[in-house]
Chains A and B, each alone.
Chain A
């Protein structure tokens, strides 16, 4: 008996309806809001693309996107470099208590970001854990107010991101490395390859797919960072650590500029989508 051609779509329908109701519809509605000047309370005025033009002209907002790109370095690139080294060592080195170590590295991932941020806010306080430690070893000059410094606050926030993402990246890469056949490594050893050569010639190219997944997840996390900034700095000092998602919040909920907030949100969504498309084109080729 032949199935009717549209039967598969019937199976897909329930999921698709939910996806449309909770993702596509709000997305389209946000895109619509971004074309209006609206305070979220009264009547709205159609302004076309004026909100988007204002975004380009607003130095604070341009800086916010710049900060988000800095955070990509801390959330994605640094954890990837460290994670590759860690995963290679953990996979091939005979480490005692590997399971426990893996758990410890992964732990920051399972704690809510707000909790993480509150903890680091304490660490970075002028008389917090970090400065106390620095003073204890005689580095009084390095004991700065980490969340109130125009040079170091953004990196300080970034380091929290590195700490959170490292576990995820490491565990992903370890899973990728575990599926490489042992015989390959034995053959490489017989041919006289050292551990460094082995890593660059065999391990790294073989975990491309895992790298793509890790980069995708961490870049999304970096670009949509909100809770970390909201709790630790509120965008300060000045506007030196504000990020696009935080600007969406302040404009929509504090300043009554819903159209402008929606325009930032839409821009951010397109940006995240675009960057991840590029990452997957570049990194995720079938390992030959």
Chain B
């Protein structure tokens, strides 16, 4: 027998073996996402006996890692019978490895799962996360959190509706996307904070003023596609109805991308490119390189998320400030933003009581103080815990203002399992002037419509 025939036989044997095995996913202990009848929950952690709690998080940056370490130590001091086994990875790594981990036999007890449909939505639909309503009642989480915040980690049992249903996770921090500015760069163009934040028109006029003075108004590093979502989102918030944006961003039925307001927003972004407001080649510039360039004075503005505040302050000191994009006359303040990644409990965790106690501990008022001390923006008590000076004072104030008097708009890439890749590529096409605003909206509409059916 020749070796090739032998391999052929091996292949057939292996194929037969494989096909005799069960269909993919059939062997997993996953239900239809139905919640079991809630058993009696306990909030008395000390009586639970010796437990090891496995926690997977993505709190890897300086201040994030510090708050997690401190809270874990405090928790273990308070409950010596519970040991925290922490596994910390970057945002991207966690997103990639979580799918495999949750379907495995020794899934972690507590995981940080992005609110998006591609992560939390998919896990809820597959019955891999535990609904937290019973614990929310026991611990009073509904009083601790604003309803709009809990809505961002709420899904229906089957994972089809996002924004209502059962609570599946608790976030620690808040995030707001806005405009970082350099005081000295504004002064060079003859501008100051008051002249550029009066209204949306004042802000867009200032872009032209800065350009005419020979400087670059806006810095953007869009090599990876997603950073432009944080520029387009705030622009869209000045034109479109906040409720309609929320429907689209959460991938719920009943919305459409094909509106005049959305087209105006897309045309505005492309207009900024045509007018030369951005640095050269935003699509070829790395995200981290862009904010580093901005901190060295390459541009007057950087439209980005509040998570860059600490790094920018370290580089720029008191030259850097932050404001939420000012609203056009007669409209409410509106910008993209949300919570940090919510902490969730896995459906098959045998230690749900301990896990819920842990969630309660790391989101308590005391935890919020520790978060603020370590340079993070707490999702609750934000205004009270704001620092007295520095860019984080501006950030906390902007978050407080948007959440109380304005509209915090969900991230557009939460909408569907494929939307992150779709909108990233579509925004590169729009910024690279490969597509018209109309074609850009068609691309997003196709993705959205295919999902909501």
Q: A residues near B, CB below 8 A? A: 9, 12, 16, 19-20, 24-25, 27-29, 31-33, 36, 38-44, 46, 121, 124-127, 144-150, 153, 233-239, 250, 253-259
Q: Chain B residues near A257 (CB, 8 Å)?
A: 417-418
Q: Chain A residues near B279 (CB, 8 Å)?
A: 126
Interface majority SS on B: helix, strand, loop or mixed?
Answer: helix
Q: Are B25 and A238 in contact (CB under 8 A)?
A: no
Partner of A32, one of B18, B223, B432: B18
Q: Chain A residues near B286 (CB, 8 Å)?
A: 121, 125
Q: In the complex, which residue of chain A has the Cβ closest to the Cβ of B286?
A: A125
A54 CA to B240 CA, complexed, in Å: 34
A175 CA to B105 CA, complexed, in Å: 51
Known: A25-B17, A40-B103. A145 touches B280 (CB 8 A): yes
Interchain nearest-CB distance for B294 vs A (Å): 13
Interchain nearest-CB distance for A189 vs B (Å): 44
Q: Are A126 and B284 in contact (CB under 8 A)?
A: yes
Q: Are B284 and A147 in contact (CB under 8 A)?
A: yes
Q: In the complex, which residue of chain A has the Cβ closest to the Cβ of B424?
A: A236
Q: Chain B residues near A12 (CB, 8 Å)?
A: 6
Q: Chain B residues near A16 (CB, 8 Å)?
A: 6, 10
Q: In the complex, which residue of chain A has the Cβ closest to the Cβ of B31?
A: A42
Q: In the complex, which residue of chain A has the Cβ closest to the Cβ of B418?
A: A255
Q: Are B24 and A239 in contact (CB under 8 A)?
A: no
Q: B residues near A, CB below 8 A? A: 6, 10-11, 13-15, 17-19, 21, 23-26, 28, 30, 95-96, 99, 102-103, 118, 122-123, 125-128, 222-225, 279-286, 289, 293, 417-418, 420-421, 424-426, 428-429, 432, 434
A239 CA to B103 CA, complexed, in Å: 31
Q: Are B99 and A253 in contact (CB under 8 A)?
A: yes
Interchain nearest-CB distance for B395 vs A (Å): 28
Q: Nearest 7 pairs between A and B by C-beta?
A: A145-B281, A148-B284, A145-B284, A148-B283, A42-B126, A41-B126, A24-B14
A153 CA to B99 CA, complexed, in Å: 32
Interchain nearest-CB distance for A270 vs B (Å): 13
Q: Are B425 and A147 in contact (CB under 8 A)?
A: no
Q: In the complex, which residue of chain B has the Cβ closest to the Cβ of A146?
A: B284
Q: Are B24 and A145 in contact (CB under 8 A)?
A: no
Q: Chain A residues near B426 (CB, 8 Å)?
A: 238
A150 CA to B429 CA, complexed, in Å: 9
Partner of B24, one of A9, A20, A33, A237: A33
Q: In the complex, which residue of chain A has the Cβ closest to the Cβ of B226?
A: A234
Q: In the complex, which residue of chain A has the Cβ closest to the Cβ of B128?
A: A41
Partner of A258, one of B11, B24, B223, B225: B24
Q: Are B11 and A254 in contact (CB under 8 A)?
A: no
Q: In the complex, which residue of chain A has the Cβ closest to the Cβ of B125?
A: A42
Q: Are A233 and B30 in contact (CB under 8 A)?
A: no
Q: Are A19 and B10 in contact (CB under 8 A)?
A: yes
Q: Chain A residues near B289 (CB, 8 Å)?
A: 125
Q: Chain A residues near B425 (CB, 8 Å)?
A: 235-239
Interchain nearest-CB distance for B32 vs A (Å): 8
A46 CA to B24 CA, complexed, in Å: 10
Interchain residue pairs with CB less than 8 A apart (7): A12-B6, A29-B18, A39-B122, A39-B125, A147-B283, A254-B95, A254-B96
Q: Are A149 and B30 in contact (CB under 8 A)?
A: no
Q: Are B10 and A24 in contact (CB under 8 A)?
A: yes
A36 CA to B22 CA, complexed, in Å: 12
Q: In the complex, which residue of chain A has the Cβ closest to the Cβ of B121?
A: A256
Q: Chain A residues near B428 (CB, 8 Å)?
A: 148, 236-238
Q: Are A24 and B11 in contact (CB under 8 A)?
A: yes
Interchain nearest-CB distance for B227 vs A (Å): 11
Q: Chain A residues near B14 (CB, 8 Å)?
A: 20, 24-25, 27-28
Q: Are A144 and B281 in contact (CB under 8 A)?
A: yes
Q: Are B11 and A38 in contact (CB under 8 A)?
A: no
Partner of B122, one of A25, A43, A148, A256: A256
Q: Are A44 and B223 in contact (CB under 8 A)?
A: no
Known: A16-B10, A41-B123, A254-B96. A237 touches B25 (CB 8 A): no
Interchain nearest-CB distance for B11 vs A (Å): 6
Known: A24-B11, A33-B24, A234-B223. A254 touches B284 (CB 8 A): no
Q: In the complex, which residue of chain A has the Cβ closest to the Cβ of B159?
A: A42
Q: Are A44 and B25 in contact (CB under 8 A)?
A: yes
Q: Chain B residues near A32 (CB, 8 Å)?
A: 18-19, 21, 24
Q: Chain A residues near B96 (CB, 8 Å)?
A: 253-254
A237 CA to B220 CA, complexed, in Å: 14
A254 CA to B421 CA, complexed, in Å: 9
Partner of A236, one of B15, B26, B103, B283: B283
Q: Are B30 and A237 in contact (CB under 8 A)?
A: no
Q: Chain B residues near A144 (CB, 8 Å)?
A: 281, 284
Q: Chain B residues near A254 (CB, 8 Å)?
A: 95-96, 118, 420-421
Q: In the complex, which residue of chain B has the Cβ closest to the Cβ of A247?
A: B421
Q: In the complex, which residue of chain B has the Cβ closest to the Cβ of A38?
A: B24
Q: In the complex, which residue of chain B has the Cβ closest to the Cβ of A249?
A: B96
Q: Are B26 and A43 in contact (CB under 8 A)?
A: yes
Interchain nearest-CB distance for B97 vs A (Å): 9
Partner of A237, one of B15, B23, B99, B432: B432
A12 CA to B224 CA, complexed, in Å: 48
